[in-house]
Amino acid sequence: MPFWDGRAANAADIRLYVPGAGWRAAVSMEGDTDDAPVPGSANAVGSVLLNILNATNLVVLTGTGSSFGVSNPQGRPTPAGMWDVWVAVRAAAGDAVFDAIVASFGAERVSENIEKLLTLCKLYLELHDGETSEPVLSMQAFVETAEQAILARVDFIDRESGLDAHDALIRKIGRRGVRKPRAKLFTTNYDLCFEEVARRSRFTLIDGFSHNLDQTYDRTHFDLDIVRREGHRENPDYVANVLQFYKLHGSIDWRRVEGDILRTRAQVGKPVLIYPRSSKYQESFDAPYLDMLSAFQAALREPDTALLISGFGFNDDHISSPIMSAIESNMSLRLAICDLAFIPDEQLVLGAHDLAGKAELPNRFLTRFRRLADSGDARVHLMNGRFQDLAAAMPDLIGETDRERHVQRMRAIQQGAAGPA
């Protein structure tokens, strides 16, 4: 059984990479009878995260891995990984149609990877652009079916979803002092995890959309902030619990209607999101994705900036390359990565105090970050753990506010009033 299956969120499951020693456990290890205990990495992890949160400019990046921290009631869809999307597309297209499309490219070439399959479909349609033959029309129909299936499969959030990890993260990064620039939260996910948890906790997300009846996207809205204006005060009072929020690949509730991008769950216009295929890089240079990506690149070049990454696999070059470029050019940039990619399960099961980890990491970016850490670059910190473990490990800069306690009391009263008499 894999090490992580059924494991609750626990800061003690995070291992910190210590150059020359390996991946160190959080808890201390008892020494021999005459030796002092071998210290764990929990204090060092806490220090790293505290330093990240106290940076002048805080940037957080999450990906698909963060969604696996969600729990849904039985019978509701679970968070979707790439294999889940593959299964959903097969079910929507039908086995015969799906197998025929895969066979047309070669099963070994596709290797049960939905991103490779959609990439090949896209290339085929570009090569046969303008043709109306039966194979071309069939391919177009399959791509449309696949995109609709993906959109439906990643729509798994509702009012009953368990979002404890997202709630912890958004509270801890949103409670920074209002004198500092707003924390910037970037995600490649299409789902509504952060939007739902912000609604529950009464946090405000500045996400580029207006506050009109038809919420409309405009890049200038990212330059706005929320303040409290009172007649007897000359200076504005910046409201707490506000974040800037960027969805780099779009969202399931964004629709393009007559040239505008609206936030709506109505089935109008066309969805605004980047589907999993190799053309993600080119598509990211269209609006609104270019606005989001430009904001990400600009944020990484600000002085005294900290970048915290969890649940992002560094498989998107249009996002990973700017991070590496910023590490090379911005000497004040601090980087902390928490991911499951560093240590195989079979090592974790052994439970040794220091583990060697994987000799070869999944991609070149993680390899380069580890080399930087090995070379003594004190700006780079690597941790092995899940998104929910990281959220549990992050320190609270400020305790629960009066407003947050008031919201919780009011919600408890309302839920009690709505229950059985």
* pLDDT at site 31: 64
Per-residue confidence (pLDDT) for residue 407, from 0 to 100: 66
Q: What is the DSSP letter of 8?
A: P
* pLDDT one digit per residue (tens) for the chain, 421 residues: 489 998 999 999 999 999 999 999 999 987 665 667 888 999 999 999 999 999 999 999 999 999 999 999 998 999 999 999 999 999 999 999 999 999 999 999 999 999 999 999 999 999 999 999 999 999 999 999 999 999 999 999 999 999 999 999 999 999 888 889 999 999 999 999 999 999 999 999 999 999 888 999 999 999 999 998 877 777 888 888 999 999 999 999 999 999 899 999 999 999 999 998 877 777 777 889 999 999 999 999 999 999 999 999 999 999 999 999 999 999 999 999 999 999 999 999 998 999 999 999 989 999 999 999 999 999 999 999 999 999 999 999 876 666 666 666 776 777 666 655 4
Per-residue model confidence (pLDDT) at position 37: 80
Neighbour tally for 258: CB within 10 Å = 7
Give the Cα separation of 220 and 204 in Å (integer): 17
Domains of the chain by residue range: 24-73+163-393, 82-153
What pLDDT score does 1 carry?
A: 47
pTM: 0.91
The residues that bridge with 336 in the sheet, in sequence order, are 308, 381
d(CA 57, CA 185): 11
How far is 269 from 231, CA to CA, in rounded Å? 44
Q: Are 27 and 40 in contact (CB under 8 A)?
A: yes
Multiple choice CATH, 24-73+163-393, 3.40.50.880, 3.40.50.1220, 1.10.3860.10, 3.30.1330.60 = 3.40.50.1220
Provide the token pair at 29.
């290890």
Amino acid (1-letter code) at residue 350? L
Say what the pLDDT of residue 400 is: 61
Token pair, residue 122, equals: 């896209």
